[in-house]
Structure 1
């Protein structure tokens, strides 16, 4: 494999076309996956603004189609590829959710593109004990509050995940502008977003006497652009989950400039059903 083709530097085109053209590349495998979630929601919303027009019962969809391209270089053994997640709900104006490329090997995995940052991908909390449409922070969330830290969402970034060693893994990501994603050129530097955001996390996963244990500590730091409501921002938090006999118990604590939150959750699995 010609690494000049894989790591094209600042052009950020070091994508599928360059990698596929390598003479030593293995066969490219392209798969299609995704999800289709449907729900019926019931509830009673008390709104301090006096707006009582929210429905107490409704249906909704949440669906995506994912295209995953994967290959392995015959000469170096490195794996590489790309993921494109298409939004398929009829009310969505954006055509994709996440788009990113990666290269991985004994050193870990390096990603580049529009993807969640390390702190968001590695966090654990009550939301980790999720069933159905995503639990307390999913498609039918119980409250409009954050269940983790402020994060860069799918803004364009570079991400590194270490290899898993004895159950431990590290991750770090860098996002120049949390308001910039996709093919937008010359993003503004004074529109109230966070910039130069570094997110990091450390996780552990292991089994002890029938208990499946997971734990995570995550954090971030970022500078505020002109007009940012919080200015410079920092946050840290952590959580853990324990699984036993079909049940999962999870909880977490997260604190930053926006809010402090404590969350907890429990899930029971009964064959194909989850509660």
Structure 2
């Protein structure tokens, strides 16, 4: 029912806004993008066989053709291309895309049709992070060792932050505060009124996108023995956000809900998607404080009474922080906590706490540099072993970065 309602509202909005559109309108094509380079240094307990330094980079560009009709209707499309594929050699590098949609906007608001993230991703309100590259909350996690080897017996290498419930649900990490999930969907944003804006989306399934068609109610992403099923269908989202200024005080807030049905798996059933997010920010005289909570509950977990993971805690991500901006300089810091069901083989939960401080400097328009320090403590749910010792990890990370936006 929700999917038909949203699709119908989008069609009505487009029809009302189109009127007698000018078929001769000329398209303007805009090209923009961003890139970053990071150099990281790591000192951690579980560092056997790991280097202390590493570097990485990412490049994205947007191609946006758009036009405006005589009646005021604006319409066009957008594709965002990414060159950041993880690779171990020349043959492994390739270019992909994570946004590709048609849009139309006017007095009715904006409609997007195609591959895109959730409305929550567009309007997220959480801790302020202008000292980090391009809204990336969890960059430090990539330097923590990339997970463990040797199963549950060890030896343990790196922080236990991959896999599990949060790592299995598409687009998530142990410190990512939005719903993520770039999929083919219908999205709608209302006009902003007195600071308030509404958003909604419908997605047939979150593990199928682009030109692919998959009408199956089943998924190959999980089996009856899986702890987590990351595939959901008939996903719907409702979002309200607020952005307003009162004199020198800037207020932002957001609340979102995201629901969907777990895809069918022969021989087992899994918990449906039932997630919410809420956040707020207050800014005054260059200072901004804010935070958010993102809760996935037990979404995707196996319902089997024989599975240890049935009795594990829900997945939650907390963010809290502050920053100060003075001209081209931004300094800030924050705290992140993520917890979820952890290992698929045993009962319990795992937890990651990250404490961060950083600074960024705009050298010239579109070009900046920055530095940050992260201290992390990863409490694993995997028990200590004679071979692997403790599976808990802690450490420090220093990251230097440069950014370019055009």
SS at match of 1:43: strand
Q: What CA deviation, in whole Å up to 9, does each residue of 1:43-98 have, x standing for no partner?
A: 33455xxx744433211112101111111111x21100111111123645452121
Offset at residue 133 of structure 1 (A): 1.8
Query: Under a length normalisation based on structure 1, what TM-score does the superposition of the two structures give?
Result: 0.81
Where relative contact order (Cα < 8 A, 6+ residues apart) is larger, the structure is: 2
- Counterpart of 2:218 in structure 1 is 190
- Counterpart of 1:10 in structure 2 is none
Offset at residue 169 of structure 1 (A): 0.1
SS at match of 2:43: coil
Query: What number of residue pairs does the alignment pair up?
Result: 251
Contact 1:45 1:52 in 2 (8 A): no
- Counterpart of 1:219 in structure 2 is 257
Residues 233/242 of structure 1: CA separation in 2 closer, same or farther (3 Å cut): same
* Runs of 5+ consecutive residues of structure 2 not aligned to the other structure: 1-6, 8-13, 88-92, 143-160, 162-172, 220-228, 299-314, 331-358, 360-406
SS at match of 2:203: strand
Residues 41/235 of structure 1: CA separation in 2 closer, same or farther (3 Å cut): same
Aligned CA RMSD, in angstroms, stands at 2.7
Contact 2:114 2:184 in 1 (8 A): yes
Residues 184/97 of structure 1: CA separation in 2 closer, same or farther (3 Å cut): same
Residue number among 55, 64, 81 corresponding to 2:51 in the alignment: 55
Query: Under a length normalisation based on structure 2, what TM-score does the superposition of the two structures give?
Result: 0.56
Contact 1:62 1:139 in 2 (8 A): no
- Counterpart of 1:268 in structure 2 is 324
* Runs of 5+ consecutive residues of structure 1 not aligned to the other structure: 1-6, 8-13
Contact 1:149 1:235 in 2 (8 A): no
Offset at residue 235 of structure 1 (A): 1.4
Residues 156/52 of structure 1: CA separation in 2 closer, same or farther (3 Å cut): farther
Q: Which whole-Å CA distance do the structure 2 matches of 1:188 and 1:65 have between them?
A: 34
Offset at residue 207 of structure 1 (A): 1.1
Structure whose alpha-carbon radius of gyration is higher: 2
Q: Which whole-Å CA distance do the structure 2 matches of 1:122 and 1:137 have between them?
A: 14
Contact 1:180 1:187 in 2 (8 A): no
Contact 1:25 1:72 in 2 (8 A): no
- Counterpart of 1:137 in structure 2 is 137
1:1-275 aligned within 5 A: 24-45=23-44, 52-74=48-70, 76-89=71-84, 91=87, 93-126=94-127, 128-134=128-134, 137-141=137-141, 144-148=173-177, 150-151=179-180, 153-186=181-214, 188-191=216-219, 192=229, 193-227=231-265, 230-258=270-298, 259-274=315-330, 275=359
SS at match of 2:208: coil
